[in-house]
Structure 1
Amino acid sequence: MTTDTQQPIPWKTTIIASSSLQSHDVIRSLNGQQHRIRFSDSVECGVFIFPLSGTAFLVVWLDELPENVNETGLFEKIKNFIKVHRNSFLLLCAPFNGKRELDILSDIQQRFFGSNLRILPVRNNGDIIKGMLTIAKATSKPHVDSIQDRLSLARAHIIERSPVWKMLRDVKLG
């Protein structure tokens, strides 16, 4: 959607966040973009929920974890997170230029392979916000309907104009 001057209309939504995140920089940035933030003690630490899109994000800052990740309960926390949230995303925040970060990412991928968890490595708070908002916007109404309509139009256009499809239609008629 755009205005008369072709400026995009800012997207604003309601976000339910863990009460433990109240003073975090991510919350300040989301508030600055005028999203409505609701805090809940019943939401697990580090979790953001976007009710209109049905998505939930668990943010894990790898630099805050001790050397032995198995002792932190991280894997149990992720397991509980994906039990509760059907459309779940894990945002791993780290520079990802060291062996430790890549090993943790690999361990998580192996343990949760085949589950409904999607893993998104991010480097900083800006990436966290951008990743969450992009996914939440693309999966919320009416944006998801608009995206589906555009994909249908693109598909129809490809079928209508493609020489391969034209050849297949000709073969079928002949």
Structure 2
Amino acid sequence: MATHTGTTPQWKTTIIVSTSLQSHDTSRMLSAQQHRIRFSDGVESGAFIFPLSGTAFLLLDPQDPLEHCEESGLIERIKTFVQVHRNSFLLLYAPFNGKKELEILSVLQDRFSGSNLRILPVRNNAEIVKGMLTIAKATSKPHVDSIRDRMSLARAHIIENSPVWEMLRDIL
């Protein structure tokens, strides 16, 4: 059995997943990594919710009919998702960066500019899983506290050792 020396143990968490994604590859990949998957009809279709980090992801496949975003109810669905989940991400599944995918990305960015929705273009299931886990881990306790502490130490180190900061201190 191969071991990874010098790495921290794999992070595991509970994820609430829409039952619409029960047979999706991402659900199987998350389960294979030994995350606790709980399927629910009570969450938005296409949603992954990480309760311990307070993040929610909505998977959107541009193969869905998007020519008329307003008429299809997509914009309302995303608006509801953003209102329900304070820390929300839209996973825009675009295996190719073609004209259609870029137009969809542009429409969504324009429509949700200024909201708490962040849009992540992803090319495959591995990127979907990696992106969700990276964000969820970085925003969950105790990892968020550790990151905050490391950022404070880095900031202090930069201020103490930066010639620019020395010059500014001398000027003031």
SS in 1 for 2:58: strand
SS in 2 for 1:89: strand
SS in 1 for 2:89: strand
| CA positional deviation for 1:150 | 0.5
TM-score (structure 2 length as normaliser): 0.92
Provide, for residues 92-117 of structure 1, a one-character-per-residue CA deviation record: whole Å limited to 9, x for no partner. 00124211111111111111111110
User: Which stretches in structure 2 are left out of the alignment for 5+ residues?
Assistant: none
Amino acid at match of 1:118: R
Alignment of 1:127-166 (within 5 A): 127-166=127-166
Partner of 1:66: 65
State the aligned residue count.
Answer: 169
Closer, same or farther: CA 122–11 of 1 in aligned 2, 3 Å: same
For 2:40 and 2:57, the matched residues in 1 are separated by 15
| CA positional deviation for 1:4 | 10
Provide, for residues 31-82 of structure 1, a one-character-per-residue CA deviation record: whole Å limited to 9, x for no partner. 000000111111010000001110000001112x126242432111101100
SS in 2 for 1:92: strand
RMSD: 1.6
Partner of 2:103: 103
For 2:38 and 2:76, the matched residues in 1 are separated by 25
SS in 1 for 2:23: coil
| CA positional deviation for 1:171 | 3.5
Closer, same or farther: CA 67–165 of 1 in aligned 2, 3 Å: closer
TM-score (structure 1 length as normaliser): 0.91
Provide, for residues 138-168 of structure 1, a one-character-per-residue CA deviation record: whole Å limited to 9, x for no partner. 0001110010110000011111111122223
Tell me which moved more, 38-47 or 158-167: 158-167
SS in 2 for 1:6: coil
Partner of 2:56: 56
Amino acid at match of 1:166: E
For 1:160 and 1:136, the matched residues in 2 are separated by 32
- Asked whether the equivalents of residues 46 and 60 of structure 1 are also in contact (C-alpha less than 8 Å), the reply is yes
Amino acid at match of 2:109: Q
